[in-house]
A and B are shown apart, each in its own frame.
Chain A
Amino acid sequence: MYPFYHQLVSICGIIYINFMIKELILAIILGSLLGLGVTGGYLALHKKDIKNNPSKQIEITTPTSIPTTTISETPKQPSQISISSPENDALISTDQTTIKGTTSPNSLIIITTASQTFSDKSDTKGNFSVSIKLDSGINFIKISAIDQTNNQFDTTINVTYSTAKI
C-alpha cells in the first residue's frame, strides 16, 4: 500500500491532467472553429465568382491549363508562307504536281518555274493548292504570297521531274 500522501499527489495529478486535457481539447475546438469559419466565409463570398468564371477557377487550381486554352482558342494567323507538298528536293515521275501550302487568308499566290508562271488565291483559312507543270529535270520553283495589305512572302523549293527508273 502506498502512503496517503502518495495517493493525494496522484489524485491531484490526475485532476490537473484532466484540466489540461479539457483546456487542450477546448483550444483545438475553438481554433478549428475559427479556421473553419474564416475558410467557410471566404468560400461563401466567392462561390458566385467561381461558378460564373470557370477559367478563373482553373487558373486558381492549375495555372498550367492556361496555355492550352490559349493555343486552342487562338486562330492560326501565319505571317509567312509554308509549303506542305511536295517536299523540297522531291523526285517526281510525272510532269504535273500540286503545290500545297499555307499563308495568310485570301492572298494572291504566284508560282514560277524557269519557263512558266501560275497564279491562284489562298482560301479564307490561308490554304492553297495550285497545280503546275514541271520542266524536265530540276525545277527551281519560286513561290510568293501577296497578302491583302500587299505584303509579299517568298519561298523556294527544288523539285526534279524525271522518268528515269531509279
Chain B
Amino acid sequence: MLFIVFLFIIFNFSVHQTLAVTATPSAETTQDIVDLVQQKVKEKLNLINTPSTQPKAFIGNITQIDQTQITTTFQNKAQTISIGESTVYIDIKKLKTKFTNLKVGQTILSMGYLNESNGLDAKRIVIIDPKSTENTNQIVTGQIVDISKSSPIIVIIPLKDKNNQYQIKTDSKTEITNLSGKKVTSDSLSSGKKVVVIIQPDPKIAKTFYATKIISLESATSVSPTPTVKP
C-alpha cells in the first residue's frame, strides 16, 4: 500500500513538472500577442483621434458653398473645407480675391490643418486651372513589336494589356537608359525587347505618344574581361 502511495506521489510530481514546462512558453507567447495587438491598436487610435499637426492641401471641385464651409469633391471623394475670417482667397491670376468670388464648379486648392472631424480648417484657398497642374505622364512596361529605322517611331504592346498598343515617337531629347541608369543609344532597342517607357500623349495626333524616357529592361550583355599583359 505504501509503495502504491509512493508511486502515486512520484508520478504526480513528474506530471506537474512536465505540464509546467509546456504551459509556460505558450502563456508568454499569448501575452506577447495581446500586448503587441494592444500597442498597435493604441497607435492607430491615436493617429485617428489626434488632429494632424502637419499642414494639408486638398484639391477639389466646389459642389456646395455656404457661409462657414465649402464642400469639394475630387475623384469621387468629398471634403469639407471650413472657412473663417482669416482665410485668404487667391484667384486664378494669383491675386487676392473675396470669398464671394468662389463659385460651384470651380477647382480650388485648399490649404490648412485637419480638424477633429477630418474637415480642413482652411487658411488659404487658391482657385486653380486643373489642366495646368495635370500630370499627363504615363508609365508603361511593354515589349517592342516594331521599331522603324527610317522614322523615330516605336510600337509597344503593354505587358498588362496585350490587346492594346502604343505608337511612340522619340527625338533627341528622349533619354534612353539601361536598368543601371546608364545612357545607351537607340541602336540598343530592337523588336522583342522589353522596356519601360514614360510617355505623354501627343496633343495633335490621337493615340500617338511622345517618349520622354525609355528604360531597357534587358540586362546588359556580359563583357569578357580584357586580359592584362604582365611584364
Give A contacts to B, CB under 8 Å. 29, 32-33, 36, 39-40, 43, 50, 54, 57-58, 60-62, 64-65, 67-68, 87, 89-91, 108, 110, 112-114, 117, 119, 137-142, 144, 146, 150, 152, 154, 158, 160, 162, 164, 166
Complex Cα distance A150/B15, Å? Answer: 58
List chain A residues, Cβ under 8 A from B134. 114, 140
Given contacts A58-B29, A91-B54, 17 further A-B contacts (CB under 8 A): A33-B4, A54-B25, A57-B22, A61-B26, A62-B27, A64-B30, A65-B26, A90-B56, A91-B55, A108-B215, A137-B109, A138-B57, A142-B137, A144-B196, A150-B217, A152-B159, A166-B123
Give B contacts to A, CB under 8 Å. 1, 4, 7-8, 11, 15, 18, 22-23, 25-27, 29-30, 32-33, 54-59, 109, 111-113, 123-124, 126, 128, 133-137, 139, 141, 159-160, 177, 179, 181, 194, 196, 198, 212-213, 215, 217
Q: What are 27 A-B residue pairs whose CB atoms fall within 8 Å in the complex?
A: A32-B8, A33-B4, A50-B18, A50-B22, A58-B25, A62-B23, A62-B26, A64-B26, A65-B30, A67-B33, A68-B29, A90-B54, A90-B55, A91-B54, A108-B215, A110-B215, A112-B139, A114-B133, A119-B181, A119-B213, A138-B57, A139-B133, A142-B137, A144-B196, A146-B196, A152-B196, A166-B124
Structural contact, B215 and A158, CB atoms closer than 8 A: no
Structural contact, A29 and B30, CB atoms closer than 8 A: no
Distance to closest chain B CB from A73 (angstroms): 13
Number of A-B contacts (CB under 8 A): 128
Structural contact, B160 and A152, CB atoms closer than 8 A: yes
Complex Cα distance A67/B29, Å? Answer: 10
Complex Cα distance A148/B115, Å? Answer: 43
Structural contact, A110 and B198, CB atoms closer than 8 A: yes
